[in-house]
Chains A and B, each alone.
Chain A
Amino acid sequence: MSNHYYNATDLGKFGNITDFQKEAGEKFFAWYGEVFKDSALSAREKSLIALAVAHAVQCPYCIDAYSSDAYEKGYSEEQMMEAVHVAAAIRGGASLVHGVQMMNKVKEIAM
């Protein structure tokens, strides 16, 4: 067992998850492939969404994969960083909006 949690070369082994559960794994990859196809949204737009989401879920593998993919698909550095800001803004906003819950609670118990 390796003594660290993330290893860049593991990204290339992603396909091997079907080794332990073939059917579910294959269904995931088929679905994944379908999701990223050109459709109502282009594969290119989906790549930028994936880049933002990768930052929101903080998955280093996805950040690696979609930084390359979005850049290769012709997004500028500026566009990519703006996508990251969108993810960050939603994350920040999501925390902050719970502040209302906090305020509600405080008001409930405060004199």
Chain B
Amino acid sequence: MRIALFITCVNDTLYPDTGRAVVRLLERLGHEVVFPEAQTCCGQMHYNTGYRRDAQRLAVRFVTTFAGTGADAVLAPSASCAAMIRDNYPRLAEEGSRLARATAELAPRVHDLSELLVDVLGVTDVGAYFPHTVTYHPTCHGLRLLGLGDRPYRLLREVRGLELKELPGAEECCGFGGTFAVKNPDVSAAMGSDKARGIASTGAEVVCAVDNSCLMHIGGTLRRERAGVKTVHLAEILASTEQEPARV
């Protein structure tokens, strides 16, 4: 299958390892991966902060960049960006506009990593090896907007060597919320702190999620609190093998 990567601006700039892991994983599974270089950002930050016009321009850019790739599916290894495209582009588009038509055509093919693997490619055992204790934080957008359900858990349970720990209060927001973390730093930090405590209580070495923005917030809190728990994107766990183990 031909899969176009939307690596997202945060991953591209701050978490290139996630992008590399996605490429390794999909190529290992025998798929062709393309990366349209004109891609930038889905516009989520602008949209969520109230800058609709800016977000609209970025949305047009996104659909234009990805419309011509001839890919069967578009992978966004960030649940919130996938949700932005699927849920919010239709709201951004004026009725009958080019953006509306392009979104209607493209959005159903945009997936988060766990959806792509489980629903589109039909695999849960991707041949991964990751000998660590792991707890999973279902990010809000993955949980409520995309409705990922048990897909990430199913993938994690098939990873050899991995021991999955249940996270108390898993469904509660970590407090990142994009510009929320800056506009309401105290509440955001209090939420992050409670999330970090929940994670530490599992005794896991690693906390995993499908969105690096949330992991950045959680990781920053864990690091500040010297909890000793590492943050890793699901892609990096699934890309890890005996031959090329992910370093944590």
A and B from one complex: no
- Measured CB to CB, the residues of B under 8 A from A are none
